[in-house]
Structure formats: C-alpha cells, structure tokens
Structure 1
Amino acid sequence: MEAILTINNLTKKFGYLTAVKNLSFTINKGNVYGILGPNGSGKSTTLGIVLNVVNKTQGDFHWFDGTISTHDALKKVGAIIERPNFYAYMTAEQNLKLVCRIKGVDYAKIDEKLEIVGLLDRKTHKFRTYSLGMKQRLAIASALLNDPEILILDEPTNGLDPQGIHQIRQIIKNIAANGTTILLASHLLDEVEKVCTHVVVLRKGEKLYSGRVDEMINSHGFFELKADKHEELLRVLEAHNTIDKVKVEDELITAFLNAPMSASEFNQFMFNQNILLSHLVKRKESLEEQFLQLTDQQ
C-alpha cells in the first residue's frame, strides 16, 4: 500500500516530561486513522511534530515516499489543529478567498468545498453569525481548498452539540469516501469506532495498539450473567476453558470468551451443571472495553 506518512521511533520531551515516547506507525493512502487517547497522551504533540510546528527530540518521520522535503509535502496536506481562525466581520466566501490567495488556489474551488460541508447557502453570511459547528465546517472547507491528499483534524467535534457532532462525522465519512486519507486525533472512543478504519491507541505518549478498528474489536464477545447460585456459577466459569476472564459487579457477572460460543449452547451447559440463569445476555466487545483492557494492562 502507498504510504502517506511514516513515523519512526518519534520522541518529544518537554524538560523532564516525555510527551511522545518511541512512537512508530504508518498512515496508508485511502484510510481513516484515529489517534486515540485521553488528554495528555501525546496526540496533539504528534500532529504538531509532523506538521512542523513542534520540534522533535529524537526519531524521524517522512511524508509520502520520503523524497520531498516536509515543507513541500505539507502543500499536499490539509490540517486543522487549532480553533477556526477567520475574520469575524467578513463573509465565509471572503474568508475563503483570502485562504485561496495564500495557498495559490483558484476561487472556483470555494463553492465546491462549501457544498461538501453544507455551507453553500450561507457563503454570503458573516463569520460572526456562524454557530460553533458551522465555524468548524468552514475550517474543514478551508483545509480542503488545495485538494489535499490527507486531511488532519485535531479533536474535530470538541465542544459541539449532538447535531454538530453528527454533521462533522458525516462530512468526514463523505470526504474519506471520495478518496482523501484522513488522520484525526480524538479522546472519544465513540468517534473513532464510528468514523475510523484504523486506530493508534496512545497512553502517556506510548503506543498501546496500532491496527484496524474492526480487528481490535473482533473478539468473541462476552456474556452478562446472573444466577441465584452466584458462588457456584463463579466456580464453574473459572473452570471453563472457553472463558478467558470473569468480572463481578454486585450481582452481575461478566464472562469474556476466548472462543466462539452461542448463548443457547452456554445456557444448556449451565443447565447441565444444575445452574439456572436468571439473566443471560451475549454482547460483542466494544472499542471501549478493548481500550479499557489495554490501559488496565499498563
């Protein structure tokens, strides 16, 4: 696959604090990548380094095939890593004309990009009249003006209401569907699960996981269980070779599977052990459960 961005053993220290530690991963063309981690995990620092606004301490990175300078490579990158910064007294169209002049882009691109973000009918309205969600969408239109090969977004839905969040996520999906590679940083598991094809999980600047989202959550699932014979049920679960681990919260027992097993098959097994289940639900493990398991192991 064609690599858009390759990061090798990247480290960034701020005095005694190591914000990013020996980080390596590759962004391939045509995918939507999420850098996932809590605040302070090194997501924004990583983006700042590859966008040449933060100096690295060690390691290296290169754009595309590595034969062009970072300065020239960034002409093929669109990025929003801070709050949208436009002139409040100017219209959306006037603001984007300024960006076109800076980037050397034809004004003809403006309507096309405003159409993508659903703001074409508001192009003559002043920026100060825009909601926070509209401001964010205008920023995305601005980042798309030079037809970038990759769009980089840092916490794109931060501070938005549910409708604004939905609109931004749908726009990201539509842009990706048209072939633009996307890299977004987020602390929202839900966002990465709904929008991204690949994920890099960071904690305190270190990579915990890198790969496809569907592979990360491609577990055999788990059972949620209750029974009057609580202690007996726990003993049977701990002896069962298909049960990977057991978690107990009050009366609810969660049993994680390490091999396929249907709920009816499991229910029959318990019945044969003379345990009648008062509650049995089989669920697929979410990205949240996988993320918590990853971070618990650290």
Structure 2
Amino acid sequence: METILTITNLNKIFNKRVHAVKNVSFEIKKGNVYGILGPNGSGKSTTLGIVLNVVNKTSGDYQWFNGSLPTHEALKKVGAIIERPNFYPYMTAEENLKLVCKIKGIPYSKVFEKLELVGLLERKDSKFRTFSLGMKQRLAIASALLNDPEILILDEPTNGLDPQGIRQIRDLIKLIASQGTTILLASHLLDEVEKVCSHVVVLRYGETLYHGAVDGMLSNEGFFELKSDNIVLLKERLQKHTAVKDIKIEEDKVFVYLKDHLEADELNQYLFENGIILQHLVKRKNSLEEQFLQLTKTN
C-alpha cells in the first residue's frame, strides 16, 4: 500500500521551554482515514502545521509520498483545512470557489462537482454570510477538494457544530473516503474518531501513546456483564477463575474484566458447574473511551 506521509522523530519546542511535539513518528497509508486524537494542548495542530509547512520543526523529519517530490510540490496534492473557513461574506458559494480555482489554476467545472459532493449545489447562489456554521465548514471542505487531492487534512472538523452539523460532516468524511481520498483529521472527540477513522494516533502532552488500527486499540479481552440471585457467591466463584482480572459490582450487575480470552459459553458452564445459575450474561467490548482512559492512566 502506497505511503502518503511518513513522520519520523518529529519535535517542536516553542520558546525553548514548551515541548509541544516529542519524538512523534507514524505513517499514513493510502486509502485510510486516520485520526490524531488527544486533548487540547496535546500537539495535534502543531504536528499538522509542521507537515503542511506552516510551522517550523525543531528536529526530526517528515516526507510526503516517500520523498519523491519536494515539499512545495507535494503539497499541491494535499487539501487542508486547519483554521476556520475564510471566504468573502458578500460573495456567493460559487463565486468564492471560482476565486479559489482562479488562484490555484483549477478548471471552473470543479466548482459544481464539489458543491454537489458536499450537498451545497442548491445553495451555490447564496452569499457566504447567510450560511450556517456547518454549511461554512462543508464549503471549506469543497474548497480543499477542488484540486482532487490525494489526502485531505482536517483540524477539528466538527468543532462548534450542532448535532445535525456534526452528523453531516461525519457522513461527508465517510463519503469522501469511500471515493478513495485518504483523510487525516485531528480531534479531541473520542466518539468522532471511533465513528469515522480506521486508524488512530493518540497524543498526550506531545507524546505518542498509541498508533495503529482503531480495531487494534479495541481488540482487548473485553468484559462480561452478569446477573445472578446470589451476587456474593457469584463473586467468590469468579475470583477463582484464572482468566478473571477484576470484578466490579454496580447495583444488581456484576462486571467481570478479563486478563485472558474467555468465551461466554465457557464462563456460563464454569459457573453452572460451581452452583451458579445466571439470569443475565452479555460479553461486551471496551469502548474507545475506556481504552483511551486506560491508556492515559497507565502511561
């Protein structure tokens, strides 16, 4: 699979004191949706700024397209939105995009194609100042796609949007990805990354805590949710099972966390043979949020 971007031991220090990015390394492969996940101040935007050549790195390296092109040429194959949409308020959506085309030497025919893609073709004659925040964001995405980039970079694409606007942007990201465009987005929203990304890079205080497939981050042993008439005896029996790591009781439910693989039918049989009849048994996966909290807690 073609490598779009390679980041190696990237560092950024501001004012000789603030180490915003610390030895960050990861690769972006063609055809995937990558999320850089972390709270504000984790180094997400700084990392994007460096690879887009708007922030100077302190040390380390990055290469676009395996170094086959100099950075300024490579960036012609990149679409990016790293700030709030900035269009002329008194001009229409079509006029604003045509101006971008004129500046970048892109055929005007792309304007209608991209407006249709982002669901704004019917509003092509509406002035930018009449747009909602979500519509402004979608117009910005249309603008970033005018040159048919190989990768689209988005910094906090749903920030400040209402639930409907968030859903529209998420659906749009999925649609763009389905058409073959690689996407890299920075977000502090776990839910956003879990719903739209195939791969994730988790940053905290500029350091990489995890990078790889979202499914890989979620592929843990999970936990069981149990109910029984005798919770005290149930807990006692569970503590003797070698696959059980931890047990928590909340109201009438017992949550069983594992250290080794264990199927539901195996646990059910074990408990039955030890005098426990279950009223309820469900095996669940830890959410990305639970994994993220566990990751940041143990590092």
Which band: TM-score by shorter chain?
over 0.9
| Separation in 2, partners of 1:200, 1:253 | 33
Displacement after TM superposition at 1:258 (Å): 3.9
Alignment map for 1:31-42 (pairs within 5 Å):
31-42=32-43
**Structure 2: which amino acid aligns with 1:274?**
G
Q: Deviations over 1:135-188 (max 9, x none)?
A: 000000000001111000011111111111111111111111111110001111
**Structure 2: which amino acid aligns with 1:89?**
Y
Are 2:222 and 1:224 aligned? Answer: no
Q: Deviations over 1:179-214 (max 9, x none)?
A: 111000111111111111111111111111111111
Alignment map for 1:38-117 (pairs within 5 Å):
38-117=39-118
| Separation in 2, partners of 1:45, 1:236 | 51
Q: Deviations over 1:50-101 (max 9, x none)?
A: 1111111111111112132211111110000111111111100111111111
Look up the match of 1:10. 10
Look up the match of 2:176. 175
1:241 partner SS: coil
Are 2:194 and 1:198 aligned? Answer: no
Alignment map for 1:96-245 (pairs within 5 Å):
96-227=97-228, 229-245=230-246
Deviates more, 1:123-132 or 1:189-198: 189-198
| Separation in 2, partners of 1:235, 1:37 | 39
Look up the match of 1:272. 273
Same amino acid, percent of matched pairs: 70
**Structure 2: which amino acid aligns with 1:174?**
L
2:35 partner SS: strand
Aligned length: 298
- TM-score, normalised on structure 1? 0.93
1:268 partner SS: helix
**Structure 1 alignment gaps of length 5 or more:** none
Structure 1 vs Structure 2 CA RMSD: 1.8
- TM-score, normalised on structure 2? 0.93
Displacement after TM superposition at 1:9 (Å): 0.4
Deviates more, 1:86-95 or 1:187-196: 187-196
Displacement after TM superposition at 1:38 (Å): 1.4
| Separation in 2, partners of 1:117, 1:132 | 14
Displacement after TM superposition at 1:226 (Å): 4.7
1:65 partner SS: helix
Deviates more, 1:123-132 or 1:155-164: 155-164
2:66 partner SS: coil
Displacement after TM superposition at 1:32 (Å): 0.6
Q: Deviations over 1:87-124 (max 9, x none)?
A: 11110011111111111111111000001000001000
